[in-house]
Structure 1
Amino acid sequence: MKIFVTGSAGFIGFHLTRRLLADGHSVTGYDGMTPFYDDGLKAGRMALLSAQAGFSGVQGMLEDAAGLTEALRASGAEVVVHLAAQAGVRYSIEAPQTYISSNLVGTANLLEAVRAHRPRHLVFASTSSIYGGNLAMPFAETDRADNPVSLYAATKKGGEAMVHAYAHLWGIPATSMRFFTVYGPWGRPDMAALKFVRAIEAGEAIEVYGEGRMRRDFTYIDDLIEAIVRIIGRPPVAGEGLEGDTLSPVAPSRIVNLGGGKPRELMDFIAAIETALGKKARLRFLPMQQGDVLETYSDVSLLRQLIGTVPRTSIEDGVAKLVAWYRQFYG
């Protein structure tokens, strides 16, 4: 197929694009190459993608409606995967306008381009942060998610609502995927996994928020990509819902959790890094930060019904692969 991927130079976008190319698809990647983080990661990812047959890269911002629409039109894509966004819960407190511009205005521009082009399936990257202040565990897609505790979560909730509206208005099959704590090689340096690895390797103290009591449904990147690839092949069809489905009664639109359904203590994750590095961490315990939640835990029953599998890589195995990549990439 011909597939259009926004955010192709990002962490998840890079891994997905590389997998799609390996599977024989042609991919047009659209990325703004923004300097949110810059330590050679985006350039390294783009170099690897550009060397693969079937890849065409377009540098552009989501806010450039005309450029985005033209790039999608020229790609002739049958599937659109919208991963580009301003990410990060904590940064949304410092730079809120960036999230409004990219995640709301940018997604609206992408939806208008999709309306003009009409792909067979629109796949939208959302987040587990949407569950916000929910206390019932595990988080199920059918739960109400009306209590976001960060602007990042609120903008992603808005994105899901816009995606549903366009699915209803224009009959565009759409799937919104709620990601749970994704980590792995080529990850973002602002995320805890890479920050921990870097600091422990350097003998520096790491900041452990929530006094070490936090639990996360850690999802290894390769598992996530396998799930996305399978979801691409399962566009929602009106009237063909599953048990416990989120298929809309008025649109070919669905929401699905992408997590492992096995939350682990943050301290277990740190212990796995210590083992992989062969070094002990110096810990600095701190209170919870604004916008953060104590625990995430995904109900993956719908995901299992849709694609026949769920993420299953243990944090011990996943962290070992992350550390091996880190030492190779950073020397």
Structure 2
Amino acid sequence: MGEKLRVIVTGAAGFIGHHAVKALLNAGHDVLGLDNLNDYYDLKLKTDRLEQIGSPAGFAFEKADIADPAKVETIFGRYAPTHVLHLAAQAGVRYSIDHPFSYIDSNIRGHLSVLEAARRSSSLRHVVYASSSSVYGNDAAIPFSEADPADKPVSLYAATKRADELLSESYARLYNIPQTGLRFFTVYGPWGRPDMAYWLFTKAILDSQPIKVFNNGELERDFTYIDDVIDVVVKIVEEKDTAFGHRLYNIGGSRPVPIKRFINVIASACGRQAECVYRPMQKGDVYRTHADLTRISRDYGYEPTTDIETGIPRFVEWYRDYFGK
């Protein structure tokens, strides 16, 4: 094992956060998990994720809201992290239409709180944070490249994530804080988020309910299995050479899947037929996503290996077990 790191993981009770905490602990690092345990979706799922992590050596959890800058700074000062994996955010494109201020609080103020604590920390060496494929909007060239402008977001959620990237760029330049932003592309898998399409579709099919399919099914998504994501995230956190300022990486599957095919794979895994109700395009949604992986493949050898024919049955199996279906 290499050097033992001291990592603060924000959003530790979230989908990606919970998996990241486990992987970092398995790699021999110490982890302090932070989460405000809000009720955006079922709180039981979040507490069950924490229970699944358990209380192994090197792990501690603290309930905290990253939008409280004084609290965040106090925690950084007390824990003295070498690294931060900042995953906490108010998620959901559609939720942002009706609840805009929660995105400003969590995604802007929260991100700034982490950056302010980072610049005052004498121990911190690297901030790794979650961005999103949503920043590309509908006008980027296919496949989406980190070099694209990403200046026409179609949702407030996307706008806040792009704002986070710009804040990080400025803090890297002003205060010499090495930072890496990760543009995740539709991450799915066991312990996932109930507001995501794959979860909603699985629930509806197993409950013999119709599913809503927007833009008449003329959508494509670059689905990325959680294990592929976590493997490369840990490599990035463990990066020894941090003389790079601020950088961005796409983390996707780079195999865009038409939504109709995606539904068929879920239905097959469930052993049921899917009843689809087609609806118009929703505000804030994008037509397609497709990650250009040239940069992350070059720097970290990232090659996603899990296609939806493998990943979706794993999720459905977990879902059936978790809910006893």
1:94-133 correspondence runs (5 A): 94-118=98-122, 119-133=124-138
Q: Which amino acid aligns with 1:171?
A: N
| 1:41 and 2:34 are equivalent in the alignment | no
Hey, what does 1:205 align to over in structure 2? 210
1:269 aligns with 2:273: no
Counterpart in the other structure of 2:148 = 143
Counterpart selection for 2:226 from 221, 234, 247: 221
> Where does structure 2 lack aligned partners over 5 or more consecutive residues?
none
2:70 to 49, 61, 66: 66
Partner of 2:316: 323
Q: Whole-Å Cα distance in 2 between the matches of residues 227 and 270 of structure 1?
A: 28
SS at structure 1 position matched to 2:287: coil
Q: Is the 8 A contact 1:108 1:162 kept in 2?
A: yes
Partner amino acid, structure 2, of 1:302: R
Measured at CA, do residues 235 and 254 of structure 1 come closer, stay the same or move farther in structure 2, by a change above 3 Å? farther
1:312 CA drift (Å): 2.0
Q: Is the 2:125–2:242 contact (alpha carbons within 8 Å) kept by the matching residues of 1?
A: no
Equivalents in 2 of 1:44, 1:38: separation in Å? 10
Q: Which runs of 5+ in 1 are unaligned?
A: 239-246
1:314 aligns with 2:307: yes
**Identity over aligned residues, as a percent?**
45
Shift of 1:49: 2.0
Alpha-carbon distance, 1:137 to partner: 0.2
Instruction: Return the match for 1:290 from 276, 283, 287.
Output: 283
**Cα displacement string for residues 173-220 of structure 1 (whole angstroms, at most 9, x for unaligned residues):** 100110001111111101111111111000000001111110000000
Residue 66 of structure 1: SS of its match in structure 2? helix
Cα distance between partner residues in 1 of 2:120 and 2:280: 48
Moved over 4 A (4+): 235-238
Between the aligned partners of 1:299 and 1:218, the Cα distance in structure 2 is 13
Equivalent-residue separation in structure 1 for 2:6 and 2:135 (angstroms): 30
Counterparts of residues 231-310 of structure 1 (less than 5 Å) = 231-234=236-239, 237-238=242-243, 252-310=245-303
What residue is the counterpart of 2:60 in the other structure? Answer: 56
What is the alpha-carbon distance in structure 2 between the residues aligned to residue 308 and residue 124 of structure 1?
A: 20
Q: Matched residues in 1 for 2:314 and 2:241: separation?
A: 34
Letter in 1 for 2:255: K
SS at match of 2:97: helix
Q: SS at the partner of 2:254?
A: coil
- In the superposition, the TM-score normalised over structure 2's length comes to 0.96
Q: What secondary structure, in the 3-state scheme, does the structure 2 residue paired with 1:5 have? A: strand
Partner of residue 11, structure 1:
15
Contact 1:210/1:286 (CA < 8 Å) preserved in 2? yes
| 1:243 paired residue number | none
What is the deviation of 1:265?
A: 0.8
Aligned length: 319
What's the C-alpha RMSD, in Å, of the aligned pairs? 1.2
Report the AA paired with residue 100 of structure 1.
Answer: I
2:184 aligned partner, one-letter code: F
Shift of 1:235: 6.3
- 8 Å contact kept, 1:184–1:321: yes
Give how far 1:166 is off.
Answer: 0.8
CA deviation vs aligned residue, 1:36-85 (integer Å, no higher than 9, x gap): 00162101011122332221001011121111111122222111011000
Q: Which residue of 2 aligns with 1:241?
A: none
Letter in 2 for 1:116: R
Query: What CA distance in whole angstroms lies between the structure 1 residues aligned with 2:139 and 2:290?
Result: 11
Q: Take 2:56 and 2:268, find their aligned partners in 1: how far apart are those partners?
A: 35
Cα distance in 2 between the residues matched to 1:232 and 1:132: 27
What SS does structure 2 have at the residue aligned with 1:40? Answer: helix
* TM-score w.r.t. length of structure 1: 0.94
- Inter-partner Cα distance in structure 1 for 2:215 and 2:187: 19
SS for the counterpart of 2:291 is coil
**Structure 1 counterpart of 2:35:** 31
